[in-house]
Chain A
Amino acid sequence: MPSSLTALQGQLSRRDKFRAYMQAFNPTAPARDVIEAGLVCEDLHQSLYRNLAARADLEPGSQQLLVGGVGSGKTTEMLLARRWLLAQAHVLPLYIDVSKATDLGGLNTGSLVASLGLSIAAHLAPGFKDYGPGGKLKAELGGPFDKLWSYAYGKFERVYVAEGDDFPDDFDLDDSEDEKGHYTFKRIPGKLRPPMPSLEREIQDIREPLAEFLSYLRKTQREIVVIFDGLDRLLDATKFWSVVHQDLRLLRQLKVSVLATAPLSVLFGAGVGQSISDHFDRVHHLSVIASGPENTSLQSVLEKRRASELLNLQEADSICYYSGGVLRDLISLSRDAAEEAYVSDRDSITADDVKKVVHQLGTGYLRGLGPRAIQTLLQLQNSKSFDVSLPANVELLLTRRVLECSSTDFRVHPALLSVIPQPEPKRA
């Protein structure tokens, strides 16, 4: 039956109220926007970002890794580190999300330094026009810029093609006198495009132009700290190392401090992980955040975003528990629970809403698990035993079915645990 009430002047409509909540609990919001909106608890990881940034500042050429699982908040820590470094006037922090600009799967040696070179060039001359004819940096940096550009993006070379031949790699012009053919332009791909398999490029080709840019910057007494984000997407430690190791060696030689994200497989798993860690001055682990009566960090994250507008304390605790301490899952569950309440025509989040979204999240984690994996998870749950050296178990970590509370403490994601089929009890 109709209501004779009308909206009070200034009162938010129900939709507006939910939308405002959703905006604060958007798990896909860029980390930069979330920080700027003041929604981040900066001391969540005991101000890890300060440790990262301070060491990078005090030890030029140092190299640090930030390792964490999917959704653990690595990008946020890196951006906070960047902000801290910016406040130090003598440092130029350059944040580069390598996975945004180029095909990370196609990366090989030289890609990181190419990205860094272009970032520095863009910082000095946005749009790069100053490196061209008449530009104010043409004299000093025009040559290095051209080399940097062609290294990064490739170039065209004029080559002679004999009749009937394809593009020869080692054609000698002196032999061409008696040949019939023509000149044409051949594209030499760069580092930031998928390269042709037959070409190998020396990373030392980039050293000189990069060094010139660094030298120019250091004249203004600015040290460089480069923050490479996105490398944690290379879930396989071997692949990660094949992409980064030569680049990082060059950057150490050039005394550029590096902060880089890395996958969990660098810390866990047998073999290559330990040798990778040994190459870095410091490896920081961003573990999941503990939840419990003695630790209300997760609740603080919710309250920073004003969860109490729609979420009572009891349901907030439930969401914190079932997130497993994975920050993105915490935000997702909070958002999804509100969404359930909204489409069900409720004015706030109820226990039923939370139960439903936990079920959804857990079911998502459950799909794709075979009997052996489920057995492993149940064993972990029952006996705390988990052999992290096994590749199959590292996969469980990487896909967040298993969460690492520390380097030796593992548990099954609580949302997954809530839906995992339990074995039938054996009859006596």
Chain B
Amino acid sequence: MPEFSTEPFFEIARRLEVRGETGWLAVLSPATDSTAALDELQTELQSVLQKLTRVIQLEASTFEKLRDTLHQPDDDAVILSGGAGLTPEKWRTLDIMRSALERKGPVILWLAPDDIANLANLAPNIRSLIGGSIFVAGPDGGIMTETERQYRLKQLSEHFGLTGEEVVRKAEARELPHDPEFVEWLVLLDRGDLV
């Protein structure tokens, strides 16, 4: 079965930014830590788009409430969450009211992977707005890899002529200089307790 593209939240936010901070897209949540992932998505959207980003739970919303919430204001970013709990009837209702959901700011559908079937089968009008902009939530590429960490430790050792163990001993003896490079060194050695 073909898969959707995996994108980190930063890139998803960047896509919305180059669109002119408008449009619809769908993000498929990870199987675990979905709540934490939603928080991260919200953070990235706010940082990149420089707009407030609200999360709206779909199940709890009536037509009027959802329409009014989406338009007050209508130019911030909104994440519509809660696809997994939606009945087929609710999906159809959302689809029927598509025009009422249209707004200036971007709309991000936060869906469980299985919800895409409901989107395609029960909400063709909304699916049409989203088009191919369906992405699987991917890991943040900003995390320092082990290779990168080892390289930095090596650079520090070569520059100061000290090993990691020597740095730890000096820190324990409170003999380590206070330069920012040494602080980073200790954290990279997983010895933040000595900072």
- Chain A positions within 8 Å of B, measured between CB atoms, are 15, 18-19, 22-23, 26-28, 30, 70-71, 97, 99-101, 103-106, 194, 230, 233-235, 328-329, 332-333, 335-336, 339, 342-343, 356-369, 395, 398-400, 415, 419, 421
Is the C-beta of B133 less than 8 angstroms from some C-beta in chain A?
A: yes
Those of B1-47 within 8 Å (CB) of chain A: 1-5, 11, 14-15, 18-20, 22-24
Min CB gap A112→B, angstroms: 15
Provide 6 A-B residue pairs closer than 8 Å at the C-beta atoms, listed in order of the A residue. Answer: A22-B19, A233-B125, A332-B131, A398-B124, A399-B120, A415-B132
**Which one of B73-81, B94-102, B138-146 is at the interface?**
B94-102
Min CB gap A373→B, angstroms: 10
| With A70-B128, A363-B3, A368-B117 as contacts: A230 and B99 at CB distance below 8 Å | yes
| With A106-B63, A328-B128, A364-B130 as contacts: A233 and B19 at CB distance below 8 Å | no
Residues of A within 8 A of B120 (CB): 364-365, 367-369, 399
Nearest to A399 among chain B residues (CB) is B124
- Chain B positions within 8 Å of A, measured between CB atoms, are 1-5, 11, 14-15, 18-20, 22-24, 63-64, 92-93, 95-100, 102, 116-121, 124-125, 127-134
Min CB gap B95→A, angstroms: 7
> In the complex, are the beta carbons of A329 and B131 less than 8 A apart?
yes
> In the complex, are the beta carbons of A367 and B102 less than 8 A apart?
no
Instruction: Point out the residue from B1, B3, B18, B102 that lies within 8 Å of A15, measured CB to CB.
Output: B18
> In the complex, are the beta carbons of B99 and A97 less than 8 A apart?
yes
| With A233-B96, A364-B127 as contacts: A332 and B132 at CB distance below 8 Å | yes
> In the complex, are the beta carbons of A19 and B18 less than 8 A apart?
yes
Q: A336 to B12: give the CA distance in the assembly, Å.
A: 12
Q: A362-B2, A367-B117 are in contact. List 11 more A-B contacts (CB 8 A).
A: A27-B128, A105-B63, A194-B63, A234-B96, A235-B124, A336-B132, A343-B11, A343-B14, A357-B132, A364-B132, A400-B128
Instruction: Point out the residue from B15, B22, B119 that lies within 8 Å of A28, measured CB to CB.
Output: B22
| With A106-B63, A368-B118 as contacts: A100 and B99 at CB distance below 8 Å | yes
Residues of B within 8 A of A22 (CB): 18-20
> In the complex, are the beta carbons of A359 and B22 less than 8 A apart?
no
Q: A68 to B15: give the CA distance in the assembly, Å.
A: 30
Q: A15 to B20: give the CA distance in the assembly, Å.
A: 10
Min CB gap A186→B, angstroms: 21
| With A99-B96, A364-B127, A364-B131 as contacts: A28 and B24 at CB distance below 8 Å | yes
Q: A103 to B64: give the CA distance in the assembly, Å.
A: 8
Nearest to B16 among chain A residues (CB) is A339
